[in-house]
Structure 1
Amino acid sequence: MDIEAHVSSMAHSGLDAAAAGHGDGFFITALTVLVLACFVGYYVVWSVTPALHTPLMAVTNAISSIIILGALMQIGSGSWLVILLAALSVFMCGINIFGGFLVTRRMLAMFQ
């Protein structure tokens, strides 16, 4: 079974379970959104032509900055586990953002 059929079948299973009312509704909905987002993201990135990799990296850096904002909002939580995961997320997204901008700058310098 190829990846396309496997992911599609997982998404349909999640939607069927949510429609039937089995299990926790929020978990099934969140899992379905995650699977569909992975599926769409994989095919969007895979179909990018080599000439557009630099703009794609810039957009990826922007997405990481949105993730870092969400993590900063969670740091005010009362749970130590949430605070730890949010701090780890801020650190890893920071590396991704600054490293991505450095690589993008180097790639753009090749075309000057």
Structure 2
Amino acid sequence: MDVLIEFISNHLQMIYIVILMIFVGVEVIGHVPAVLHTPLMSGANAIHGVVIIGAILVMLSASPDDILALSLGFVAVLLGTLNVVGGFVVTDRMLEMFKKKK
């Protein structure tokens, strides 16, 4: 418990910034019109390619004996890939709605 209290007291400004970022993000997303919400979210999902690259770099720098780092890196690559593919699938479906039907 003392370690947690010490961590919080040492990183209090960073915690305030994260809380502020959460509130600002909720306000920004909350004021986006419904028409733009799907393309905005699919674009945001595509940005998760950065997560994939970061996870691959973590896995490359981890030692072969560090099972935890390799497992977390693999899960991050897997979830990041699913998020990127899902973003493109949503975008594709959205664009299909605007095509003329034959």
TM-score in terms of structure 1 length = 0.65
Out of 77, 93, 100, the position equivalent to 1:106 is 93
Counterpart residue number, 1:52:
36
Give SS of 1:48's match: coil
| Aligned positions, number | 91
Q: In the TM superposition, what is the alpha-carbon distance from 1:82 to its structure 2 partner? A: 1.9
Give SS of 2:16's match: helix
Counterpart residue number, 1:96:
83
Higher gyration radius (CA):
2
Measure, in 1, the Cα distance between the counterparts of 2:9 and 2:69.
22
For structure 2, the 5+ residue unaligned runs are 1-5
1:39-73, CA deviations, whole angstroms, 9 ceiling, x for partnerless residues? 22222222110111232023212321112111111
RMSD: 2.3
- Sequence identity percentage: 35
1:64 aligns with 2:51: no
Q: Which has the higher contact order (CA 8 A, sep 6+)?
A: 2
Q: Is the 8 A contact 1:57 1:104 kept in 2?
A: no
Measure, in 2, the Cα distance between the counterparts of 1:31 and 1:83.
28
TM-score in terms of structure 2 length = 0.71
Q: Is the 8 A contact 1:72 1:90 kept in 2?
A: yes
Counterpart residue number, 1:17:
none
Out of 48, 52, 74, the position equivalent to 1:87 is 74
Measure, in 2, the Cα distance between the counterparts of 1:72 and 1:29.
30
Give SS of 1:60's match: helix
